[in-house]
Chains A and B, each alone.
Chain A
Amino acid sequence: MTKTSVAVGCACLAGLALMAGALASAGRGGATPAHSAVVVERDFHLAVSPTTVAAGTVVFHVQNHGPDAHELIVVRDHGPLPLRADGITIDEEKLAKQEVGGLEPAGAGANRTLEVTLAPGRYVLFCNMYGHYMGGMHAVVIAR
């Protein structure tokens, strides 16, 4: 088997996988949105699954994979988040009206839940520990 044929085979497999994923997404998209989502935090990334949830009471299952401590803040997305004077951290005081919930910092290995009531719309989830937001720890969730 030549290298070309291996590459073609891999491409085919990848294509099949993408198609399966698309079908699955279409299936999920067609179904009723979930009332919970899993939020995985790690240095320095924040992933939410699914990214679309049902409006109303939503439970986020927050897992910190570390190695450092992280917090979680959920705010209604009304455009760019305001920064403090340090230019690095989000100015939470200015987001008080937009904030729908949050969790204090917890060390690696922590598994917590955050129950929030989401009105239909777009929400940003982020960790506002020093440098973490700018380091990449933020994600978007749509409530429908």
Chain B
Amino acid sequence: MIVASREFRPFAPHARRTITAIVVTFALVLGASAAISIWSTSRSQNRAAVVEIAGRQRTLAERYVTQILLVQRGEQANPEHTAALLAQSAAALLNGGSAPTVEGDDDGVTLPAETDPRIRAQIAQQLKLIHDLVSTGSALLAGRPVDSVPLTAGEHITVRDPLLRLRVLSALTSNVSLDTARSIAGQTDQNVAQSITLQIALGGIGVLVSILLAWALVTTTRRQTAHFRSLVTSSTDLVLVLTAGGCRYASASVERMTGRPQSELTGKRIVEFVHPDDREKFERAQDAGVKELVFRMRNAAGEWRHLEAHVTDLRDDRHVRGVVLNSRDITERVRLEQELTKQAQRDNFGSQLNEALEMADDESSAYDVVRRAMVEISSDAPMELLLSDSSRAHLEQTAIHPVAGAPECPVESPYSCVAVRRGHPVVFDSSEALNACPKLRNREQGPCSAVCVPVSFMGRSLGVLHATGPDGAAPRGEQVAQLTTLATQAGARIGTVRAFEKTQLQAQTDGLTGLINRRTLETELRAMMRQERSFALALADLDHFKKLNDTHGHEEGDRCLRLFSHVIRQVLRDGDLVARWGGEEFLIALPDADAESAVEVMERIRAHLARTVHDGHVHFTASFGVSDSTSGRSLQELIQIADVGLYQAKSAGRDRVCVGVEDGLRHTLAGRGNGARRAPALHQVASEEEPHLG
């Protein structure tokens, strides 16, 4: 069976509806009662006259006999008139109309027609008896035999004496008249009784309905009160009524809140549970104009709960006589707000960190940002960023806290670190705890707490960010979150920078020899020319390289190229530059050098090559053409001059060094003609403006 649940509406105006129903019920009952009274009165208003006329018939019947006797004795009497009164009155009783007056007795009265069949039969019988009485009386007066007068009312009179016979008829008429009057009176009584019964019943129903409605009202009010009571008692809201004498009332929730009985907390004592900083404003809550109040209250567990109270001044309300504080526990809301504030600060830290790291275009700049971020997170907690090197096998300390220093974690390889292995931050409350990281133990600085946050990029581990604190007081929540943000963002940036540098290096170097490529060298040379820095150039070319390739294969040719580039690098200074210029040609730049010194360097290279290939390698030599920045105005021109020197060296028998001259350039260009050598065409390409690299 489905039972419809009753809707709980604590503020619904049940009482007003019920009272209205009670009033309406009373009005209906009163109205019906009045209507019954009016109806009953209207029915009974002529009954007294009817009863009187009916009763008068008895007297008239007896008077008629007396008058007959008087007439017989020769005295003055008018029995006919009495007979007429009898007959007219009976007719008026039966069919309604005017009943005649009897001399000196009463006034004429108009009667209603009788409706009750039983009474109508009695009146009809009375009419018959009057007829028989008058007929007998007339016969008596006329001297006719009365026993021959036909009787119409069912009489069986056996007496033959005329006067007795007349008296019997008079007695019957009188008796029937009396009986009729009784019946009419009885019916009237019955009507009144019915009316009274009806009114009593109506009154009873009205009272019953009113009692039921009142009961419903009481039940509803009780239920409503119970609802409110349960709402107030089960509510976590705290209702306090404050007066000048302290707290006059505290709702049941105060027991849950403070862990003490309600009765103990009224009066002054409630203030003891209010936070000392909030006591003054709590006690002044009665001041006019205070609408809202936020205060803290200690609960049974000793925790401070934040309460927000709506203050209502009901001192003028005689039912309350105090200031009502309707307080709601907003501790969770306050916590959430604090959390949101921290989140905002964290977001702000993250945002600023992100911007700073974006501006770091190399690793060292990124490390600098990391150091500054460490200070932001904590001014006194030792921190360090350990990152793996290119082999990804060793961890190196790349950044430490500028003020507090480094925790000096002895971890050496990424996968020796538990945080790196787990892939998420690990917090150790104490280095001496059983489950502490073994690398934290036995430190010179003594026991400590620690946070280890893995640093990764694109899913690949880069290292770990360490922070330590006092033993048993590891960084919590906010600091761990900030360390995580730092680790994540630093990892992303450093990973990106490393990837970018690697890509850039790959773009700038020759894949076979590992030397910088032609474009990179050209960019460097242009930079030196813009700085008006002097330098020397040497264009080197392996002799008979085509033949070497043909004889020993390309692999051997490649090996010779790698060997030659190695030899060059061994001879050159750190600041010198060498690039594979194309095929078996190499261009060497010697900053702050002239052609003369360049020749010496090239000779050293040539000699070192000779020694190197002597040790079991395929024998090959190289020729060199030299120029310097004083030889020409443009880079193209300088390279061409060096190329002239190379041409001269080749022409002179190879395996030598020649300095190119500007005049020679013109001669050479004229002598070789277009396409005689590749170098000029290549140099032309190099003259194109190099795009600026970031």
Mark A residues whose CB is within 8 Å of B: 42-45, 66-69, 86-88, 107-109, 129-132, 134-136
Let me know if B232 is at the binding interface, CB within 8 A. Answer: no
Name the distance in Å between B178's Cβ and chain A's nearest Cβ.
Answer: 8
Query: In the complex, what's the smallest C-beta–C-beta distance from B149 to chain A, in angstroms?
Result: 14
What 1/0 flags go to B537-561 for Cβ under 8 Å of A?
0000000000000000000000000
Q: Which residues of chain A have C-beta atoms less than 8 A from B178's C-beta?
A: 130
Distance of A44 Cα from B154 Cα, bound (Å): 5
List A contacts of B158 (CB < 8 A): 136
> Nearest chain A CB to B114's CB is how many angstroms away?
12
Contacting pair B156 A135 (CB below 8 A): yes
- CA of A138 to CA of B582 in the docked complex: distance in angstroms? 170
User: In whole angstroms, what is the CA distance A44 to B157 when docked?
Assistant: 9
Which 8 pairs show the lowest CB-CB distances between chains A and B? A136-B156, A131-B171, A67-B121, A130-B175, A131-B172, A134-B168, A135-B155, A68-B179
CA distance A134 to B173 in the complex (A): 13
Q: Is the interface of A mostly helix, strand, loop or mixed?
A: loop
Residues of A within 8 A of B172 (CB): 44, 130-132, 135
Other A-B pairs beyond A43-B176, A68-B122, 16, CB < 8 Å: A66-B121, A67-B121, A67-B122, A68-B179, A68-B180, A87-B167, A88-B168, A108-B118, A129-B179, A131-B168, A131-B170, A131-B171, A131-B174, A131-B175, A132-B172, A135-B156
A sample of 10 inter-chain contacts (CB < 8 A) reads A43-B155, A43-B176, A44-B154, A66-B121, A67-B124, A68-B175, A131-B170, A131-B171, A131-B174, A135-B157
Within the complex, the shortest CB–CB distance from A13 to chain B, in Å, comes to 28
Q: Give the contacting residue for B171; candidates A43, A69, A88, A136; CB below 8 A.
A: A88
Interface 0/1 of B108-127, CB less than 8 Å to A: 00000000001001101100
Complex-state Cα separation, A129 to B172, whole angstroms? 9
Q: Please, what's the 1-or-0 string for B84-122, where 1 marks a CB less than 8 Å from any CB in chain A?
A: 000000000000000000000000000000000010011
**Chain B, 142-163, contact with A by CB distance < 8 Å: what is the 0/1 string?**
0000000000011111110000
Q: Is B46 an interface residue (CB 8 A)?
A: no
Q: How far is the CA of A109 from the CA of B175 in the complex (A)?
A: 18
Chain B residues within an 8 Å CB radius of A130:
171-172, 174-175, 178
List B residues at the A interface (Cβ < 8 Å). 118, 121-122, 124-125, 153-159, 164, 167-172, 174-176, 178-180, 182-183
Q: Which residues of B contact A132 (CB under 8 A)?
A: 172, 175
B180: chain A residues at CB < 8 Å are 68
Inter-chain CA distance A43–B127, complex, in Å, is 13
Note all chain B residues with C-beta closer than 8 A to A68. 122, 125, 175-176, 179-180
A41 to B183 CA separation, bound complex (whole angstroms):
18
A44 touching B153 by the CB < 8 A rule?
yes
Minimum CB distance partner of B163 in chain A = A87
Complex Cα distance A66/B179, Å? 11
Q: How far apart are A42's CB and chain B's nearest CB, in angstroms?
A: 7
Contact indicator B168/A107 (Cβ below 8 Å): no
A residues within 8 A CB of B157? 134-136
Are A42 and B171 within 8 A (Cβ)?
A: no
A44 touches B156 (CB 8 A): yes
- Set of chain A residues within 8 Å of B159, measured between Cβ atoms: 134
* CB closest chain-A residue, reference B121: A67
Most buried by B among A45, A67, A69, A86: A67
Q: What is the bound-complex CA distance between A67 and B129, given in angstroms?
A: 12
Interchain CA distance A136-B132 in the complex, whole Å:
15
The distance from the CB of A128 to the nearest CB of chain B, in whole angstroms, is 11
Closest B residue to A131 by CB, please name it: B171
Contact present for B125 and A45 (CB under 8 Å): no
Complex-state Cα separation, A107 to B190, whole angstroms:
15
B185 to chain A minimum Cβ distance, whole angstroms, is 13
For A107, what are the chain B residues with a Cβ–Cβ distance below 8 Å? 118, 183
Residues of B within 8 A of A88 (CB): 164, 167-168, 171
- In the complex, the chain B residue whose C-beta lies closest to that of A70 is B179
Closest to A68 in B: B179
Q: Are A44 and B179 in contact (CB under 8 A)?
A: no
Bound Cα distance from A108 to B178, whole angstroms: 15
User: Which B residues are in CB contact (< 8 Å) with A69?
Assistant: 179, 182
**Chain A residues near B156 (CB-CB < 8 A):** 44-45, 135-136
- Known contacts A45-B156, A69-B179: A135-B121 contact under CB 8 Å: no
Contact B168 A42 (CB under 8 A): no
In the assembled complex, the CB of B436 is this many whole angstroms from the nearest CB of chain A, namely 116
| Cα-based distance from A68 to B123 in the complex (angstroms) | 10
Chain B contacts for A66, CB-based, 8 A: 118, 121-122
Q: Taking the nearest CB of chain A, how far is it from the CB of B551, in angstroms?
A: 161
Give the residues in chain B near A86, CB-CB below 8 Å. 171
CB distance from B51 to the nearest CB of A (A): 16
Q: Which residue of A lies closest to B171 (CB)?
A: A131
Q: Which residues in A have their C-beta under 8 angstroms from that of B170?
A: 131
Give the chain A neighbours of B183 by CB distance below 8 A.
107
Task: Give the residues in chain B near A87, CB-CB below 8 Å.
Answer: 164, 167
For B174, give the chain A residue with the smallest CB separation. A130
Closest to B180 in A: A68
Q: A88-B171, A109-B118 are in contact. Are A43 and B153 (CB under 8 A)?
A: yes
Q: Which residues on B sit within 8 Å (CB–CB) of A109?
A: 118
Residue of A nearest to B168 (CB): A134
B678: min CB distance to chain A, Å = 155
| Closest A residue to B61 using CB positions | A131
Q: In the complex, A131→B62 CA distance in Å?
A: 12
Point out the residues of chain A lying under 8 angstroms from B167, CB to CB: 87-88
Contact in complex: B121, A108 (CB < 8 Å): yes
Q: Are A44 and B121 in contact (CB under 8 A)?
A: no
In the bound complex, what is the Cα–Cα distance between A108 and B153 (angstroms)?
A: 15
Which residue on chain A has the smallest CB distance to residue B125? A67
Q: How far is the CB of A54 from chain B (nearest CB, A)?
A: 28
B165 to chain A, nearest CB (A): 9
Q: How far is the CB of A68 from chain B (nearest CB, A)?
A: 5
With a CB–CB cut-off of 8 A, which chain B residues contact A134? 157, 159, 164, 168, 171
